[in-house]
């Protein structure tokens, strides 16, 4: 029998083998059990959404690193950029369109649009960071610098997918 519990730190413990998984990470068939972003995407919480359609949703980051810091995430669960295939390229295009729309509406300069590369991502649900306007102090924004091993632009992700 599979028994799932949560610890105070937000970790999921599978009692069948006592394996601890990263916060938010569960098997696809059980993803809704603990994936907070799945709850947001399926509109099961009171979290304010800036944009919503059948493909993706957008919301403000809880920890903004710039004047504007929006997260765009797909409604359908994808673990991270490493789970994407060529079939997901239209999804990335749609996410970019939503990001562009939201940043243009706020009339801010686009600073960074991209993803954290595993294992540097904080939530095991694909989400695009759309950052615009003035950055917060530089050290706080280091996680979102393009060209680093931990943050990759959408263009880099698309190129990686096409090479697979």
> Could you tell me which of 88, 80, 63 has the C-alpha nearest to residue 128?
80
What are the structure tokens assigned to 103, written together? 């940043």
Residues 75 and 138 both lie in one domain? yes
Q: Give the CATH number of the domain where residue 147 resides.
A: 3.30.428.10
Counting residues of the chain whose pLDDT is more than 90, the rounded percentage is: 46
Are the CB atoms for 161 and 153 separated by under 8 Å? no
Residues 12 and 60 both lie in one domain? no
Residues 16 and 76 both lie in one domain? no
Strand segments, DSSP code E, in 43-145 are 51-52, 56-60, 66-74, 110-116, 128-135
Q: Which of 25-29, 79-83, 119-123, 124-128 has the lowest mean pLDDT?
A: 25-29
Higher pLDDT, 140 or 94: 94
Mean model confidence pLDDT for the chain: 79
Residues 21 and 68 both lie in one domain? no
| Residue 29, pLDDT above cutoff 70 | no
Q: Please tell me the distance from the alpha carbon of residue 81 to that of residue 92, in angstroms, as a whole number.
A: 10
Q: Please tell me the distance from the alpha carbon of residue 30 to that of residue 40, in angstroms, as a whole number.
A: 16
**Max avg pLDDT among 88-92, 111-115, 133-137:** 88-92
Residues 157 and 111 both lie in one domain? yes
Residues 50 and 90 both lie in one domain? yes
Question: Catalytic: 77?
Answer: no
Residue of 34, 77, 125, 129 with catalytic role: 129
| Residue 133, pLDDT above cutoff 90 | no
Q: Please tell me the distance from the alpha carbon of residue 24 to that of residue 30, in angstroms, as a whole number.
A: 11
Number of independent structural domains in the chain = 2
Residues 27 and 96 both lie in one domain? no
Query: pTM for the full model?
Result: 0.74
Separation in Å, CA 153 to CA 16, 88, 97, 163? 38, 16, 14, 16
Strand, helix or coil at 34? coil
pLDDT digits (tens, 9 = 90+) for 84-110: 999 999 999 999 999 999 998 888 888
Q: Please tell me the distance from the alpha carbon of residue 47 to that of residue 38, in angstroms, as a whole number.
A: 12
Whether cis (ω within 30° of 0) applies to the bond prior to 119 is: yes
Residues 11 and 73 both lie in one domain? no
């Amino acid at each position: 029998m599979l028994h799932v519990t949560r610890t105070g730190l937000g970790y999921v413990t599978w009692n069948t083998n006592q394996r601890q998984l990263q916060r938010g990470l569960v098997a696809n068939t059980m993803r809704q059990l603990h994936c907070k972003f799945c709850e947001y995407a399926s509109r099961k919480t009171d979290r304010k959404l800036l944009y919503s359609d059948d493909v993706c949703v957008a919301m403000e980051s809880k920890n903004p690193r710039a004047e504007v810091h929006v997260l765009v995430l797909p409604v359908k669960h994808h673990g991270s950029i490493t789970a994407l295939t060529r079939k997901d390229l239209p999804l990335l295009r749609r996410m970019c369109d939503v990001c562009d729309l939201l940043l243009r509406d706020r009339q801010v300069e686009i600073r960074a649009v991209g993803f954290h590369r595993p294992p540097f991502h904080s939530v095991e649900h694909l989400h695009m960071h759309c950052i615009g306007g003035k950055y917060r102090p530089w050290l706080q924004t280091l996680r979102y610098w393009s060209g680093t091993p931990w943050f990759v632009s959408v263009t880099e992700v698309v190129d990686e997918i096409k090479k697979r």
